Amino acid sequence: MSGPADSAVSRPGATGLLVAGTTSDAGKSLVVTGLCRAFVRRGLDVVPYKAQNMSNNSGVCADGAEIGRAQILQAQAARREPTSAMNPVLLKPGTDRRAHVVVRGRPAGVLEAGQYATGRRHLAEAAWAAYEELESAHDLVVCEGAGSSAEINLRAGDYVNLGLARRFDLPVVVVGDIDRGGVLAALYGTVALLEPEDRALVRTFVVNKFRGDPSVLAPGLTEITRRTGVPFAGVLPWLDGVWLDAEDSLEVGAWRRSVRSGAEGARLRVAVVRLPRVSNATDVEALAAEPGVEVLVTTDPEVVAGADLAVLPGTRATFSDLAWLRRTGIAAAVLDRVGREAPVLGICGGYQMLGLRVEDPAGVEADVGSSAGVAVDGLGLLPVVTRFAVEKSLGRPAGSWRGHAVQAYEIHHGRAERAASADATTFPEPVEGFLDGWRVGSTWGTVWHGALENDAFRRAWLVEVAAAAGSSWTPAPDAVAYGARREAMIDTLADAVEEHLDLDLLLAETRVASSRAVAR
């Protein structure tokens, strides 16, 4: 079942290692993040790599390349500037059967569901070239697999999991999530499903998210090793309070535990609308990290209506998600909020929905509820008309609001421009600029992602939101900066990796171990 690109490249010791998983969301991304920081502490020049990422949560590198947010985080852990080589192929789902393809940070067409197993050879070649670029410049490449490493239906065209490992002769560590149950069966079954050549590359297992006494688990680990011949590199504990960049999910545990103020009246309640094709949901993580701010991700119009602040986040499908807002009653809840002067924030696609009109003359969203030449009315709350263009805007803009510096990034096809018809009759309240977008009354909209990660801006803006909402919330004087909080979480991960995993075992077959043996 191996593919034609699987032939291994001979090397004196592997140039990296692959962190694969029994399932999606087994913890691969966080394990790679922790390993990168742990290896940096050992003095290694290490970089992260994910051949293909399927996610609508992405960011922008310094050169304007778009890659997955998880790889940007891992680059931070490795103390490296993120580059497109770290995530050479990014698939952004538009529908259940089509994904928009980004290669080396730039748009590169679409991939249909029927092409997923057989139509990706050109993507594999781009991924191989990126890996070779990284391996030639660094001591070690820590690779992250995708989904399950035992998806045998996709093995023939695989270049992310065992296809990658076979190509570059990488030792593989398989991570299983014990919190979801059945981890021993999942680890054993993963190895059992692999063809012999792939199975030979699985060198270690890691159990993730364990709660309790590890001695209770030990007999099971011993038996799995006896049956498979694969030793365990360790058992990572459940790490409460570590909730770094998910790839595609808004169900981040920290948001369910985000209220840190003891006084009910000091809470600021934020409702984030979970759009069907939500993208860059990570924009609101900085709100969840703020003491006294309660963030709830919801599809309930009543929750949207009753919160102090309602947020429409980004979307990969502005037209279909706008129709969904109307169909579910959430659009009516947003309009009711504005009638009561209750705060609303739209970010990127959410901002476009708040405008007067959305037009797609080129059919950019033809696969997700739009078609060439289509135009629909927005919610009419901000004085902009959005027109989609084939060329994507990618950048890292900087600006300010009320004297507070803001650094952000932008990823969008839609250009939102002030409408000529938006006069004082249409918008009787004062209209002012807001982070390359607009504000009317208590309704704000911006195309910038990541703006809320700027501490001074975020807190000053939330004070204004709280005042408009009638909340007594104020920033906690001892609140940790968002960037410092993220660094602390990375270090917490690395501490756990160093304490609970056998790093020498993980490195045993890499050129790092080979070079040290020669030096000795």
Give the pLDDT confidence of 372-419 residue by residue, as tens digits.
568 889 999 999 999 888 888 899 999 999 999 999 999 888 888 888
Q: Token pair of 95, please?
A: 């529908």
Answer with the residue of higher pLDDT: 224 or 365: 224
**Which has the closest alpha carbon to 305: 274, 279, 276, 269?**
269
What are φ and ψ of residue 486, in 5° steps?
Answer: -65, -45
Domain residue ranges in the chain: 16-53+69-84+121-243+487-519, 261-469
pLDDT at 164 over 60: yes
Tens of pLDDT, residues 253-293: 444 443 343 334 468 999 999 998 888 888 898 998 899 99
Rounded CA gap, 36 and 19, in Å? Answer: 12
* Residues contacting 462, CB < 8 A, separation 6+: 268, 287, 290, 293, 473, 475
Question: What residue type is assigned to position 8 of the chain?
Answer: A
pLDDT, position 107: 82
pLDDT at 4 over 60: no
CA 258 to each of CA 63, 249, 291: distance values in angstroms, whole numbers, following the listed order: 34, 17, 7
pLDDT at 210 over 70: yes
Contact 455, 467 (CB under 8 A): no
pLDDT classification of 366: cutoffs 50, 70, 90: low
Rounded CA gap, 431 and 410, in Å? Answer: 23
**Which residues are registered as beta bridge partners of 448?**
none
Question: What residue type is assigned to position 339 of the chain?
Answer: G
pLDDT at 37 over 90: yes
pLDDT, position 469: 93
Burial class (CB in 10 A: 0-12, 13-18, 19+), 423: exposed
- The one-character DSSP state at 14 is B
What is the overall mean pLDDT for the chain? Answer: 86
What is the three-class DSSP state of 440?
strand
High-pLDDT (> 90) share of the chain, %: 61
Q: Token pair of 210, please?
A: 């364990």
pLDDT, position 424: 57
Name the residues annotated as catalytic.
Answer: 348, 449
Contact 171, 18 (CB under 8 A): yes
Tens of pLDDT, residues 407-442: 999 988 888 888 877 665 577 677 889 999 999 999
Tens of pLDDT, residues 336-365: 999 999 999 999 999 999 999 998 887 777
Contact 437, 406 (CB under 8 A): no
CA 366 to each of CA 114, 360, 363, 377, 391: distance values in angstroms, whole numbers, following the listed order: 18, 9, 5, 17, 15
- The one-character DSSP state at 449 is B
Pick the CATH number of 261-469 from 3.40.50.620, 3.40.50.1240, 3.40.50.880, 3.40.630.30: 3.40.50.880
Rounded CA gap, 217 and 181, in Å? Answer: 13
Same fold for the domain at 16-53+69-84+121-243+487-519 and the one at 261-469?
A: yes
CATH superfamily of 16-53+69-84+121-243+487-519: P-loop containing nucleotide triphosphate hydrolases (3.40.50.300)
